[in-house]
Homo-oligomer: A and B are copies of this chain.
């Protein structure tokens, strides 16, 4: 009953197999190998256009380097107040970019076009006293386990265009969004105006593999320099690209994500039936936030369930909020056991 985080889980056997298969012969290092070249082609196919794709090994690196590439050091990056780049990356986006994060509130972990527009009004054009609006970043699926639909993204894009903002998507859980949405990968990224995507794989079955995708190749050269300068250019790159290829081939990424999402849906449905348990957000991907009596939290932990406390306003001495995350490796019996325990305690 481990629901702490998707990165507590193993590597998909298919991906491990691909790593082993790549361990043959000498190849050029630093990405000048055939697997890395093929990765670019596969991603080009997925998004229906030529892309510039750069593998890295952590999600923080992907986000921070992507944002630094499209944001000048004197710029503002607009993000949701709960965004991972703001809350969980230890200032890496600021460190790599020099820019300032400006947070925007928004229900259910989502920024809206209107919310962005309202914030931009506080930034007069050509004002030298505050940072210059430069970039907007959203997370898909969000930190709250909710989703942006194409129309919502397009609305943000329309506002971003009024100030020529670059548009970044943190897709650490992009697969979970794609598995839930009924649209193409292009429809919620490049077609909706996203300029650069951090496409995650580690949380959904890879070992350590993310890929930054620029839909506009203009930034590619700069990213390459920044990746190297950040110590994020892996020498034996073939082994990162091999992970990503296996992830994409045969739709492993979608299969893994569909399973994780299904486990979350089942868990949410079961919990919703229990008295005293409140779902905080709609469960649209693989994360569940519930408020429940603290005595139940303690009892579940005593029975071996693992998850994170997620303190929120509305909690009190009697009730607290926790986050449950499911993964491709979460087993149906774990979910049922958890529900049974919760029901029993309740």
Which residues of A approach B to under 8 Å, CB–CB? 2, 4-5, 7-11, 13, 16, 19-20, 23-30, 56-62, 64-65, 72-74, 87-92, 94-96, 98-100, 121-122, 126, 128-132, 202-203, 207-208, 221-222, 224-236, 239-240, 311, 329
Contact = CB atoms under 8 A, between A and B. Distances in A.
A19 to B, nearest CB: 7
A202 B240 CA distance: 14
Contacts of A239: 11, 207-208
Contacts of A236: 7, 11, 202, 207-208
Contacts of A231: 56, 58, 60-62, 64-65, 89, 92, 96, 230, 232
A240 B234 CA distance: 13
A25 B19 CA distance: 19
Contact of A235 (B58, B95, B98): B58
Integer count of this chain's copies in the complex: 4
A74 B61 contact: no
A91 B99 contact: yes
A228 B11 contact: no
B29 A10 contact: no
A108 to B, nearest CB: 20
A93 to B, nearest CB: 9
B26 A229 contact: no
A119 to B, nearest CB: 12
Nearest to A97: B73
Contacts of A121: 311
Contacts of A240: 208
B74 A73 contact: no
Contacts of A99: 91
B26 A230 contact: no
A60 B16 CA distance: 26
A222 B231 CA distance: 18
Contacts of A222: 72, 74
